[in-house]
Amino acid sequence: MEFSQLEERARALNEHPVRTPANYVLYWAQMNRRISHNHALAYAIHLANRLDLPLLIYEGLTCTYHEANDRLHTFVLEGVPDTAAGAAKLGAGYVFHLRRRRADRNDALYELAQHAAALVTDDYPTFIARQHNARVPQKLNLPYIVVDSSCVVPMSRMEKREYAAYTIRPKINRLLGQYLRPFVMPKLKHHWTLDAGRHLHVEVTAANIPELVASCEIDHTILPSLSYRGGSSEAERHLLHFLKSNLKRYATDRNQPAAHATSSMSPYLHFGHISSLEVALRARDYALEHEFSADEFIEELVVRRELAFNYARFTDDVESLSHLPDWAQATLAKHAGDPRDPVYTPAELELAQTHDPLWNASQRELRLRGKIHGYYRMYWGKKIIEWSPSPEDALRVMIDLHDRYALDGRDPNTYTGILWCFGLHDRPWTERPIFGMIRWMSYDGMRRKTNSDAYLKEIMMMERTGIDPFRLQ
Ligand SMILES: Cc1cc2nc3c(=O)[nH]c(=O)nc-3n(C[C@H](O)[C@H](O)[C@H](O)COP(=O)(O)OP(=O)(O)OC[C@H]3O[C@@H](n4cnc5c(N)ncnc54)[C@H](O)[C@@H]3O)c2cc1C
């Protein structure tokens, strides 16, 4: 990938000149925790080559993020050996720093930046990366450049917030041919031979992950997912399985949770263990080779997902109902006083203690697997609105449950998925209590359209045995 192709994905967030003398260029992998198909890393390689310097890749994990727990920590740590091996193959230095306790030092990045010519990192519109990218550039005296490596069509190609899928779809489709192209990683001119950062580095292996997690000052009650292990090689295994077994039937079976026809890519995309560009290319090529269409999958992976990134990029507070379309805000306000019966507390919802077996099963899926099937996830959200004292309470519960349990939570998709339940990116429907003109979903509809008995059985088995029968072997 040429430097000129990467420039439109890059933004300098301060005005410092390149530092000289310096020992290396620093790439801080905040969200794109991978080597392959990583535009930010490619940008950093070009910069290092231009400056005749080697490259250092820095990845950190702190105990201080909201709801830090064993599940999220384990998934991130499982990705580290793959990234370390990929960095070594590339000829880059690699430092992984684990901040175990709140009292531990919190300046690893600043120390590494002291000897860097420039810092390159991920342009990402939610979670910690958004906060870091707003705060850190002013504290450093070297160039701080963010690069979009999350979207197939760069976020910068959309000039404003899009109203819905139907407004962004033609724009993406017009540009897709230009961006859905094979990605060749540039080579580093200077291989890493320095010691910098060695004292900060924590070696991670499959064997020592439980011990590392146990040593961290985090919530140890939220256990690792029964279904998903982190890392680029796990992402690759899931992708291969999806291409061979599910892509062809995705269009017909994707809304049948018990059919397991979707890709399970969302945790891997969220932590950047795989790129959406690579997934899209592989799906397109596999479908071409086997003479069927991957259009429905590309619609979700590119159009819907990039609508979410567009929303987050152009929205100051993604955790708010104030950016819903006017019709949705008006209809929710009109029905704010409607009686709700039953009303469940956040604790009852968290523990899956409602009268609705299907809802309880989807909440249990979140607790056990770390994600809910996309179709039941819509139902899950709609019912929380129905059973909460107010839309604001419902929003809070949905975000909190995602923060605590979802491996793909805090993603742009998290917020647009949740806000879709309140009318975002949707249209008005027939008026009814509580929801007003916001789309409603019913238990009977779910029973009619899906094989919910098979799903209930699967979740019950998983809870009883502690084993996910659908975990990829
Ligand atoms: C209430 C609610 C909450 C949600 N929370 C999240 C979340 O926290 N994280 C998350 O990634 N997605 C979320 N979604 C969107 C969607 O449910 C998941 O992306 C999907 O279920 C992930 O499973 P998969 O990877 O097997 O999907 P697949 O069907 O295989 O799709 C492939 C990829 O396309 C993207 N995608 C699929 N559906 C959507 C969609 N509706 N909107 C945007 N992108 C989509 C995802 O990146 C997904 O990994 C939420 C939806 C709702 C209704």
- Say which CATH number the domain at 394 has: 1.10.579.10
Can you tell me whether residue 4 is helix, strand or coil?
A: helix
Which of 270, 413, 441 to probe ligand 1 with, by most ligand atoms within 8 A of CB? 413
Asked if 422 contacts 311 with a C-beta cutoff of 8 angstroms, the reply is: no
Residue of the CA atom closest to atom 10 of ligand 1: 413
Q: What values do phi and psi take at 94, rounded to 5? A: -145, 125
- Please give the distance, rounded to the nearest whole angstrom, from the Cα atom of residue 438 to the centre of ligand 1: 20
- Name 166's Cβ contacts closer than 8 Å, sequence gap at least 6: none
Dihedral sign computed on CA atoms, order 464, 466, 467, 471: positive
Average pLDDT of the chain, as a whole number: 98
One domain, residues 326 and 207: no
Q: ∠ at Cα 185 (17, 40), nearest 5°? A: 40
Peptide bond into 21 cis (omega under 30): yes
The reply to whether ligand 1 has any atom less than 6 angstroms from the CB of 69 is no
One domain, residues 200 and 326: no
The reply to whether ligand 1 has any atom less than 6 angstroms from the CB of 264 is yes
One domain, residues 52 and 198: yes
The reply to whether ligand 1 has any atom less than 6 angstroms from the CB of 413 is yes
Number of domains in the chain: 2
- Please give the distance, rounded to the nearest whole angstrom, from the Cα atom of residue 254 to the centre of ligand 1: 11
Can you tell me whether residue 448 is helix, strand or coil?
A: helix
The reply to whether ligand 1 has any atom less than 6 angstroms from the CB of 418 is yes
Residue of the CA atom closest to atom 20 of ligand 1: 374
Residue of the CA atom closest to atom 48 of ligand 1: 266
Say if strands 144-147 and 24-28 run parallel, antiparallel, or are unpaired. Answer: unpaired
Identify the segments of the chain with pLDDT beneath 50.
none
Residue of the CA atom closest to atom 7 of ligand 1: 414
Q: Which domain holds residue 450?
A: 321-463
Q: What gap in Å lies between CA 112 and CA 142, rounded to an integer?
A: 12
> Is residue 168 domain-resident?
no
- Please give the distance, rounded to the nearest whole angstrom, from the Cα atom of residue 302 to the centre of ligand 1: 11
Q: What values do phi and psi take at 432, rounded to 5? A: -155, 170
> Is residue 260 domain-resident?
no
CATH number of domain containing 73? 3.40.50.620
Q: ∠ at Cα 142 (62, 131), nearest 5°? A: 35
One domain, residues 325 and 207: no
Peptide bond into 391 cis (omega under 30): no
pLDDT tens readout for residues 396-417 = 999 999 999 999 999 999 999 9
Q: What values do phi and psi take at 93, rounded to 5? A: -75, 160
Residue of the CA atom closest to atom 16 of ligand 1: 374
Could you give the residue ranges of the DSSP H alpha helices within 124-257?
Answer: 127-135, 165-179, 209-214, 232-245, 247-253
Q: What gap in Å lies between CA 299 and CA 309, rounded to an integer?
A: 14
> Is residue 172 domain-resident?
no
Q: Residue 280: its pLDDT value, please?
A: 98
Which of 238, 242, 263, 266 to probe ligand 1 with, by most ligand atoms within 8 A of CB? 266
- Please give the distance, rounded to the nearest whole angstrom, from the Cα atom of residue 419 to the centre of ligand 1: 13
Q: Residue 1: its pLDDT value, please?
A: 87
The reply to whether ligand 1 has any atom less than 6 angstroms from the CB of 266 is yes
> Is residue 290 domain-resident?
no
The reply to whether ligand 1 has any atom less than 6 angstroms from the CB of 421 is yes
> Is residue 8 domain-resident?
yes
- Please give the distance, rounded to the nearest whole angstrom, from the Cα atom of residue 375 to the centre of ligand 1: 9
- Please give the distance, rounded to the nearest whole angstrom, from the Cα atom of residue 280 to the centre of ligand 1: 15
pLDDT tens readout for residues 234-249 = 999 999 999 999 999 9
Q: Residue 284: its pLDDT value, please?
A: 98
> Is residue 288 domain-resident?
no
